Amino acid sequence: MSTPGSIALILLIVQALICALVPLAIAGGLVYAMHKLRKGAERAMPKAQAFTAQVAAGTRTVCDKIAEPLIRAHAAAGNAQTVAASTRSRVQARVQTFMSGRGRRV
């Protein structure tokens, strides 16, 4: 190979190495940033978990306060339906007994 061809080849190789170093430097910077972010998150995570636990407890309290009257109303309605059905069946049984005693069918 001739000297100018060798010099041109060396310059092309150097340019290719420089082009390969740019993505490598970016990837290295990203890895370093992830490492720093993970260290910072380890310090901040207990605070964040405590805050979210407080929010969850507050949300549960508010939901319980909102739902309590609705649950009581639903339970009262269910009790009223049960009493009405029981009373209806007793009345029907007494009417049946009364009508059968008179010789009539219902």
Mean predicted confidence (pLDDT) in 2-12: 88
- Name the DSSP class of 80: H
pLDDT digits (tens, 9 = 90+) for 63-88: 999 999 999 999 999 999 999 988 98
pLDDT tens digit sequence for 85-102: 889 888 888 888 888 876
Please give the full DSSP string across 6-63, using - where no structure is assigned: HHHHHHHHHHHHHHHHHHHHHHHHHHHHHHHHHHHHHHHHHHHHHHHHHHHHHHHHHH
Distance CA 106, CA 97 (A): 10
- ∠ CA 99-100-106, rounded to 5°: 55
Ranges of each domain in the chain: 1-106
Which residue has tokens 């049946």? 96
